[in-house]
Amino acid sequence: MPNTDLPSEQAADFRRVLARWYKQHARPLPWRETRDPYRIWVSEVMLQQTRVNAVLEHYARFLRKFPTIVSLALAPEADVLAVWSGLGYYRRARMLHKAAQFITAELDGVLPSTSAELRKLPGIGEYTSAAIASIAFGESIAVVDGNVERVLLRLTGRPEQATSESKRFVADQAAAVVPQRRSGTNAPGDHNQAMMELGATICLPRGPLCLQCPVYDFCRTRGEHKTEAREKMRSRRVAYLLHQRKRGSAIEVMLHRRPTDASLMPGMYELPELPMDGVEEYTPTLRVRHSITNTNYYVEVFTADKTLLRALPLSIREYEWCRLGQLADLPLTGLARKVLRRLHLIASPGVRMPQPETMMRQ
DNA sequence: GACGCGTGGAC
DNA sequence: TGTCCAAGCGT
C-alpha cells in the first residue's frame, strides 16, 4: 500500500479551512444549541444510522417527555418505546433507558465525562463515546462515523475496503487532524461535527459537490472516488386488518402485540396481519408503502368482515383491544403508527383530533 | 468479521 | 413504480 497519508504539515491548514467553513455552513440543529450532555447523548443515539429529518421529528418530543436522565430512568420501558415509535432500531431506546437507570442508580445521575467511561454504558460504542466526549465535554478525541470514513478515504485516495487495516488507517487519519483541547472554545467537538457535516452535505456518497468543497485543495480524488453498488431492493405485498368496536363511548381497535422474545421489534404493537390469499376479492381501505432495509413492502389495509376475521392466523384471544385515545401512548411499530395516522385514528403532529363519535372508520 | 436490527423521504 | 440511503451497536 502506497503512503496515502495526508501530509502532516497540512493538518493545521486543513483544520483551519474546515473550521471556517463549518462556522459559516453548519445547519442550525437543535442539539447544536445546547451543551447539556444528556441532550447531546440523546441526539447521538437517535442519529445512529438515522437521518437528521427523522430525528428532528422525535427529538423535541422525547426531551419534553423525558427532560432529564432521572425522568428517563423512572419511566416504564413501554413509554420510552412509544416515544421512539417510528425511529427504528428500538434496541437503541432500550439501551438508552437501561443506561439512564444505571447512571441514576450507580453514578448519582451524572453522565460520565470521558470517552473511556462513556464507552462502558449500554448503547454507547466507539463512535458515540467519542462524539459525546468531544461535543459535550471538549475531549480531544476523533470520531469516525460513515461520513468521516468516506471523507478521509476520498481525501487520501485510499480505496474502500472492509478490513481491519483500513479501519485502522481511517482512525489514524482522523486522530491526526483532530485539534487539541483549548479553553474558551470547543475545538474538538466543532471539528468532529465539521467533518461529519462535510460528509453529510458536500462529500455525498453519490455525486459529491466538489465545486463547493472547502477542502478541495487537500483532496487526492476530487470526485473520482468509487462507492460500491448495493444489493437490489426486494418487493413484497402484505395485508393487515382494521377491526374496530365500540365500548361505551370509547372506540377500540384490534392490535397484535409481538412476542417479547421476538428478535424483530419485541413487545411492540402492530395491526393483525392477514394472509395475502385471504384478501383476493377485497378492495383495500388504505394502501401505503413501507420500506425496511432491503425490502419495499406494498401494504394494503382491509376493513374487517366475518370472512376476513376467519382468515386471521391466530386465535382471536391472541389480539388486544386498544382504545383509540391511548394509541399514541403505545409502543407501536413504525408501520402501525403510519397506518393509524393515515386513517386519522391517531393524531399527526399539529392535527387536532376529531370527537370520538365521528371517528369510527369504514 | 459478519450479521441483524427500522425507517420515510427524495428522486 | 423502484432505488438509495444514515452521525452504529451488540453479539
Which pLDDT tens digit goes with each residue over A91-150? 999 999 999 999 999 999 999 999 999 999 999 999 999 999 999 999 999 999 999 999
Residue A2: inside a domain, yes or no? no
CB A331 within 8 A of CB A269: yes
The DSSP element (H or E) to which A9 belongs, if any, is none
- Same-domain status, A45 and A156: yes
Predicted confidence at residue A6, as pLDDT, reads 61
CATH of the domain at A139: 1.10.340.30
Predicted confidence at residue A293, as pLDDT, reads 84
CA of residue A173 to C1' of nucleotide B3, angstroms: 28
What average pLDDT does chain A have?
92
Percent of chain A residues topping a pLDDT of 90:
85
- Same-domain status, A203 and A247: no
Which pLDDT tens digit goes with each residue over A117-131? 999 999 999 999 999
CB A49 within 8 A of CB A89: yes
Residue A227: inside a domain, yes or no? no
Predicted confidence at residue A359, as pLDDT, reads 44
The protein footprint on chain C, as nucleotides within 7 A of a CB, is 1-10
Nucleic acid strand B within 7 Å of A293 CB: yes
Mean pLDDT, to the nearest integer, of A198-223? 94
Nucleic acid strand B within 7 Å of A191 CB: no
CB A41 within 8 A of CB A117: no
Which pLDDT tens digit goes with each residue over A322-331? 999 999 999 9
- Same-domain status, A90 and A50: yes
- Among this protein's residues, is A44 annotated catalytic? yes
The pLDDT of residue A165 is above 60: yes
The protein footprint on chain B, as nucleotides within 7 A of a CB, is 1-2, 4-10
Which nucleotide minimizes the distance between its C1' and the CA of A227? C4
Per residue, the 3-state secondary structure of A194-254, as one string, reads HHHHHHHHCCCCCCCCHHHCCCHHHCCCCCCCCCCCCCCCEEEEEEEEECEEEECCEEEEE
Domain count along chain A? 2
Residue A225: inside a domain, yes or no? no
- Given pLDDT bands bounded at 50, 70 and 90, which one contains residue A2? very low
Predicted confidence at residue A232, as pLDDT, reads 84
- Rounded Cα–Cα distance for residues A55 and A39 (Å): 13
* Nearest residue (CA) to C1' of B2: A162
Predicted confidence at residue A357, as pLDDT, reads 39
- Given pLDDT bands bounded at 50, 70 and 90, which one contains residue A349? low
- Same-domain status, A183 and A289: no
Residue A349: inside a domain, yes or no? yes
- Given pLDDT bands bounded at 50, 70 and 90, which one contains residue A80? very high
- Same-domain status, A276 and A136: no
Predicted confidence at residue A5, as pLDDT, reads 64
Residue A3: inside a domain, yes or no? no
CATH of the domain at A271: 3.90.79.10
* Domain range enclosing A281: 234-358
Per residue, the 3-state secondary structure of A121-149, as one string, reads CCCCCHHHHHHHHHHHHCCCCCCCCHHHH
The pLDDT of residue A355 is above 50: no
- Same-domain status, A155 and A264: no
Which of residues 230 to 269 on A have a Cβ less than 7 angstroms from any strand B atom? 263-265
Residue A151: inside a domain, yes or no? yes
CB A318 within 8 A of CB A256: yes
* Nearest residue (CA) to C1' of C7: A47
Cβ count near A148 (within 10 Å):
22
Q: What are the residues whose beta carbons fall under 8 Å from the beta carbon of A69, sequence distance 6 or more?
A: A38, A100, A103, A104, A109, A111
Which nucleotide minimizes the distance between its C1' and the CA of A289? B8
Residue A240: inside a domain, yes or no? yes
Which residue among A9, A44, A77, A224 is the active-site one?
A44
Which pLDDT tens digit goes with each residue over A15-37? 999 999 999 999 999 999 999 99
Which nucleotide minimizes the distance between its C1' and the CA of A92? C9
Of A22 and A292, which is predicted with more confidence?
Answer: A22
- Rounded Cα–Cα distance for residues A49 and A320 (Å): 32
User: Tell me, what DSSP letter sits at residue A340?
Assistant: H
**Would you list the DSSP string of A271-318?**
PPEE-GGG-TTPPPSEEEEEEETTEEEEEEEEE--HHHHHT-SS-GGG
- Given pLDDT bands bounded at 50, 70 and 90, which one contains residue A241? very high
* Nearest residue (CA) to C1' of B5: A89
The residue count of chain A comes to 362
